Each structure stands twice: as structure tokens, then as C-alpha cells.
Amino acid sequence: MANAEDTAEKLKSKKIFINHLDSFQGKNIGKFLSRCVVGASLEEAEDEEDDRSISSSIMEKTREGCYEIVGTVKDREKPKPDFAKELILFENKDQLYEYLVECDIIIYDITEDPDQIDEAVWAVSELHSDLDKIDKPKMFILISTCMTWARSKPLDPREADGRSVSDERGDEKEDLEIPFTEDDYRRRKPHQNFKEHISAEKTVIKLGKTNKAKLVTYVVCSGLTYGAEENIFHYLFKSAWHNAPQLQCFGEGRNIVPTIHIKDLAAVIQNVADGRPKVRYIIAKDDAQNTLEDIVRTVSQNLGSGKLKHITKEEALLSKDIEQADFDMLLVDLRMDSVFVKENMHISWVSEAGIIDNIIPIIKEYKDTRSLQPLRAVILGPPASGKTTVAKQLCESFKLHHILVKDVIEEELESLRAKTRRADEEDTEEEEDNGAQEAQELLDQINESKENNNDRIEDQFIIRFLRDRLKAMPCQNQGFILDGYPKTIAQAKDLFAKKQAIANEEEEEEHAEGAGASYDRSIMPEFVINLEAVDEFLKERVMNLPEAVVSGTHNTEKHLLRRLRDYRMVNTDDDTVLNYFDELEFHPEKIDVTKDTSEMMKDTVEKIKKIFGSPRNYGPTPEELEEMRRQEEEARVKREAEEKADKERREAEELQERRRRQEEWSQRLNEVKREEYELLEAQSIPLRNYLMKHVMPTLTQGLIDCCKTRPEDPIDYLAEYLFQHNPQID
């Protein structure tokens, strides 16, 4: 019976409050805990895997008895995270407190937003003041930062004279300095900009001592977090991924930076929530004692150019990607050891050895979380089919590298010549001298090959250049579009062949699939586009090109006919380079460009964009967004001006038309009146003649006579006169 009750209690969910679920730490800790069964960390895991993968961002589905996550968000316009059961949208602190008292565990992270310090202190103070009214026991966990230790006096007794051991005996610093542990937390001294953080820590510890049965409090001192989409080190990863020539290292870079993977920090929180440890102040960090310079160099070597540059504080603060608090944290110099976590907690470490020793899976996790996967494509087709026109627009839209064989050859040859020239300079290092010698030997081989092949470079050198370019970090990070190459199956096999040196991630993928592929996954295009057109269409297209465009290119009529003939010879119905991709299940997409009548082949570009799908990059930068807004505003103003001008033009035309019609109507009215008058005139002539002959003479004479006589009744007089003088009409 007791076992059944224990099981039921174990499977009972607990509600956890986490502030700012839309922040880096809040989101990742909340997601982690929402997949954790209550009390699971109290039992040692059996048959665990040796290494826990951090590459997958898809976590196990919620099981029965897991923690229920509720919390606040900084940006209220964002939707509720999938892992959260409920978002708390409060108008005042009284409403927030009503939610807090319903939770079993309250977690406040004050490392990312200093404004949350006051709220965290208020929350724990309110809970403490209402202990008599609280029925269920509460746990309050404050996630603080190692910056509250930044000015702590080192524990090495040999530094008592004030001299730094690291300055005089830097190689022995690791052996001479004693790392801080939880036992030393009362001796900690904060950075001057983090005094409010240590004040909050002290308040939380103090209030948890009054009634431990009802309110137990913990402070988790976290190292600088990394992993997932990256947080404070994001500027490094982003700069390296964007192929910055050098990564920036602040100051000398010799400072030791305490770090911890975000999932390992979440696991520490899980253990605290499950186990209610007696220790109230816990340091959470990995085993590494890495310097900032080592971290920057490792990221640069594995994601970027391999180079770094030391910059001053003033130069660093000019960067838009770094804030003052981030700068302070990156310059912290602390040697710490999370003794309690190692000895008392059951954690399946994601990155126990630190960021440097786990850089490959951490980079993969960073790319996966931010969907920064390279987009690799090849655009093939006959000469003059528009491959370069289409490729340039696609590269600009998707931020890819345009690999044009001619340009690659010229750039690689110039690079080889530059290496040989540096060998002639003084103070050349032995390694550079050896590289220059190899470059000279390769140049000699290429020149000899050109002499024997009618000034043409053999495929083996072209393929070598192309492989080096495709294997370089820029193409591996963003991706590329191969323009018109390979042209034959033999070239394709040599270019994409799997060499002995295979990336670790490729080996893992092949091992998981059970068999290795016959091509190099890191450079094989996932999209194969073939632009199709008949020869007559291509000839007509070239003939219609302006002379200035054709001059000096291969698109003259003579060269085009030769290139078309060569292309058709190596691309018959049964033997074409497309068969190579088809057999490897990279099925080519065929597009008939003869139907594209748009300017600069925009219709074809749009079709390929739909095939590629969404871009796999950071999207527009703030500067590009501003430029886009400016262009949109200019387009809007231009459009409104055109609409206004068009409206004014239409109104003017309508007014002119109305005037023309009114004038025409007036003319027609006058014409009608004239015609009516003339008709009446014509109709009145017989009547007038009749009156003038038979009536008017007698009537006129009668009127004259009436005027002379002036009778009393002129009408009777006139009637009588007309009666008496009525002419007899035959």
C-alpha cells in the first residue's frame, strides 16, 4: 500500500513558475523542465548512454507526472511557448501574486534583465510575509550570476603581496590558484555593476531561514551560459558564421571565464527542485577553466576564418552587438568549481568538459536551433540558357556564394602567386616558406598542363580548386550555387567523391544509417536545377543581344555554335551528367526557359525559389531592413505621386471632355434652333402670301379708317368695315 502511495505521489505533477519564458534562459530551462518527471533526478539513471547528444532540439514528448510550466513573458505580443501550460498576463503585482501562491516552485532568473531583480525580491518577500496563510510548502530558486564573485580576493596565499601570479608565472596559474567553491560564498565580492544582484542573493538566502517547512530558498550561481541558439557568446558565433575576417577578443583574453551549457544549468535546477538540498547556495558551472582568448579562437577555428583580433574596451563598446553588461561578463576572471553539483547531483552532462572540448556538437546545435543550414545547389543547362543570370539573383536573395568556375580559377591562381611572392620577402616563417614552395610547384604543374592542352587547365586542377572552395567555411556555413559545373559524369564523380578526410558529423550520420554514401555529403548539392532550351531558341537569344554585351565573351555566334555542339555531345538522352545526380536520388528539376518572357528571367527565378523553400539564414540585417524600409517608403511615395498625377490627368481629361461635349451640345442646339427657324420660315411663306394678298390690304385700310373716325366701339366699326368692303374672291 505504501509503495502505491509513493508511486502516486511521484507521478503527481508540480507547477513551476518561471519569469520571462521568452528569454534565452527562461525558454530553455522551461522547455527542459517541462520534459522532466517530478523526482526523476533522485534515482540514478541505469544504462545511460556514454554521451548525451546536444544536436537535437526536439525533446522527448511530455510524460505523465512532468513539471507544469507557467510564467511571464517580456514581450506580450509573442505567442505562448509550446512547452508552457499557461502565460501569466498581469496588470499589477497583486494579480501576479495570486498566480505565484498557486505554484509549488518559483524560479526567478535575474541574469538577463536587471529590471527583474526588484520583482524577484518582492516575490520572495511577499511569500515570506504570508507564511501563515500558505498551506502548501513553497520553493524559491533565484538564478544569479557569477558576477557577484567578480571582485573576490583570490584564495592563493602567495598573492598576498599584491603581485599577480599569472603575470609572472602564467603557465603555472592553473596550479597555483585555488578555485572558489560554495563554501566560500560569504567571501564573495561583486562587480561594481552587479551590487543589486548580490543584494538580492542575500535577501533570498535570509528569508529562506525563517520557516524551512513552508518556504525554502536557493541561489544558483550560474556561469556564463552557452548552447542552443547561444546567448552571451552569440556575437562570436554570428560573426564567425557570417565569415568575419577576424573574431574580436576583448582585452588580452587571458581571463578565465566560468561557463555552463544551458541544458546543464537546467539539469541543476531540476535536481534542486527534486531534492531540496541542504546547501542553499549552489555554484553551477562546467569543469572547464577556459580563457576568453581560447574560447574565441576555438569558435573562429571551427566556424570561421580561424583568426582573432584583440580590441580595447572602447572599441568593443562601439559594437551594436555588445552591451555594457555583456562586456563586463566576458571580462570576468574567476576560477570556480561546482563541488556540490558534482558530488551530490545526478546529471547527464551535455558539456561537462566545457565549450572548447565540445565545440563541434555545440556548433551543430547552434546551427540546428537557428536553422542556419547551408543551401547547396547546382544550376546546369546549355550555353546561353541563362544560368548565370538566374544564379546571381538566387545568390542575392538567399545570401549564398556564387561559384563560377572561371572566377574560382582566377582567384585560386592569384592566391598561389601571392604565396610565392611572400616567400621572397624577408623574415618569412618556415611554415609559410613551405606553403610557398608547394604553391610554386602547383603553379608549375598547371603551366605545364596548359602548354600541353592548348592553354586549357586540366579537370584535375579545376576540381581541386572547386573542392577547396566548397570545403571552405563560407560555403559550408551559408551554402553555394554551382554555376554550370560539372558538365560531365566524370567531372561530377571526381568533384563530389568522398575523400579519406571526412568531417566528424558526416561519419556519425553514415554510421547511424549503417552504410556510407559514395559522395561527400558536405559539398553535394541538394538541389539540381536544369534549364532546358532548344538550339534555335538559344541562337536567336544570342543574336538579339547588344554588341556591347556580346563583345569579349563566348556568346558570339561562332563560339556559341561550338559550345552547343560540345554540350550536346556530352549530354545525350542516355548519357548526361543529370543521370549522376538522379542515381544518387538528387532528382533534377527541369525548367523550360523558352516559356519565360519576363525581364531578367524573373519567372524562372521565382520557380526556383519555390523549389528551394525558405531561406536558411539570419534574414535581413538591421541595416538591410532599414534600406528595405527606405526603398518601400520611396516606392510608396513614388506610387502615390504617380497615382496623384494619374488622377489629376484623368480629371483634366474628363474636364476637357465635358467642355468639349458641352460645346458640341451647344453647337447642336443652335443648329437645331436654326433649322427649326428655317423650317418655320419656309412653312410661313404661303400663309404670308395669302394674308398679304387677300386680308392685309382690306384690314390695313380698315384700321386706317378706324383710326381716322375713332368710333366708340372700334371692334364693331372694324367688323362692319370689313363686312362692307369684303372683296369678292373668285
> What are the DSSP calls for 6-22, one per residue?
HHHHHH---EEEES-TT
pLDDT of residue 297: 95
- 448 contacts: CB under 8 Å, gap ≥ 6: none
Give, in order, the Cα–Cα distances in Å from 368 to each of 128, 230, 319, 365, 419: 43, 11, 26, 5, 37
Task: Please indicate, yes or no, whether residues 274 and 356 belong to a single structural domain of this protein.
Answer: yes
3-state secondary structure of 139: strand
Q: Please give the distance of CA 615 from its chain centroid, rounded to a whole number.
A: 8
Sequence-distant (6+) residues with CB within 8 A of 270 are 32, 33, 36, 40, 41
CB contact at 8 A, 550 and 539: no
Nearest to 269 by CA among 109, 117, 121, 418: 109
**DSSP of 97-123:** HHHHTT-SEEEEE-SS-TTHHHHHHHH
Q: Are residues 201 and 83 in the same domain?
A: yes
Report the chain's C-alpha Rg in angstroms.
44
Are the C-beta atoms of residues 166 and 254 closer than 8 Å to each other?
A: yes
Residue 134 within a domain: yes
The answer on 652 and 592 residing in a single domain is no
| 417 Cα distance to chain centroid | 38
Task: From 619, 636, 663, give the residue that closes a domain.
Answer: 619
Angle at 246 between CA 418 and CA 324, to 5 degrees: 160
CB 189 within 8 A of CB 304: no
Please indicate, yes or no, whether residues 652 and 694 belong to a single structural domain of this protein.
yes
Cell numbers that stand for 446 in this block: 598547371
Strand partners of residue 592: 532
CATH number at residue 138: 3.40.50.720
Planar angle of CA 568, 574, 579, nearest 5 degrees = 95
CA 217/CA 203 separation, integer angstroms? 10
Answer yes or no: is 407 within a domain: no
Count of CB atoms situated within 10 Å of the CB of 58: 6
Q: What is the 3-state secondary structure (H, E, C) of 323-335?
A: CHHHHHHHCCCCC
**Amino acid 428: pLDDT:** 53
Strands of 215-222's sheet in order across: 86-87, 68-71, 15-18, 105-109, 138-145, 215-222, 281-284
What's the CA dihedral at 69, 74, 80, 85 to 10 degrees? Answer: 20
Q: Which residues of the chain have pLDDT under 50?
A: 1-10, 45-62, 159-174, 501-506, 511-516, 730
Which residue among 619, 645, 665 closes a domain? 619
**Domain shared by 29 and 84, yes or no:** yes
Q: Please check whether residues 529 and 381 belong to one and the same domain.
A: yes
Q: Do 110 and 137 belong together in one domain?
A: yes
The backbone region for 13, taken as left when phi is positive above 0, alpha when psi lies in -120 to 50, beta otherwise, is beta
User: From CA 341, how far away is CA 333, in angstroms rounded?
Assistant: 21
Residue 198 lies in a domain: yes
Final residue in a domain of this structure, among 619, 654, 669: 619
CATH code of the domain containing 580: 3.40.50.300
Whole-angstrom distance, CA of residue 464 vs CA of residue 698:
131
Mark whether 88 and 150 lie in a shared domain: yes
- Sequence-distant (6+) residues with CB within 8 A of 457 are 409, 446, 449, 450
- What pLDDT does residue 693 have? 82
Interatomic CA distance for residues 55 and 42, integer angstroms: 26
Please give the pLDDT value at position 216.
Answer: 94
Buried/exposed 304-327: b ≥16 CB within 10 Å, e otherwise: bbeebeebeeeebeeeeebeebbb
Both 626 and 680 in one domain: the answer is: yes
Q: Are 116 and 157 in contact (CB under 8 A)?
A: no
273 in any annotated domain = yes
Q: What is the pLDDT of residues 614-635, one digit of tens each?
A: 888 887 767 777 888 888 899 8
**Domain count of the fold of the chain:** 3
Residue 478's nearest CA partner among 394, 379, 376 is 376
Cell of 526: 541538394
How far apart, in whole angstroms, are the C-alpha atoms of residue 484 and residue 712? 124
Same domain, 198 and 220: yes
Is residue 468 domain-resident? no
With a CB cutoff of 8 Å and minimum separation 6, the contacts of 109 are: 18, 19, 20, 23, 25, 26, 29, 116, 143
Q: Is the dihedral of CA 457, 461, 467, 468 positive or negative?
A: negative
Residues 700, 568, single domain; the answer is no
Which residue segment(s) compose the domain that 636 sits in?
622-724
| pTM recorded for the entire structure | 0.78
Question: Which secondary-structure segment (H or E) carries 91?
Answer: none
Closest CA to 248 of 169, 174, 305, 206: 305
Do residues 584 and 715 both lie within one domain?
A: no
32 lies in some domain: yes
Whether residue 179 is contained in a domain is answered as yes
**β-sheet bridge partners, residue 228:** none
Kind of pairing between the strands at 479-483 and 375-380: parallel
295 in a structural domain: no
Cα–Cα distances (Å) from 170 to 153, 333, 414, in that order, read 18, 14, 42
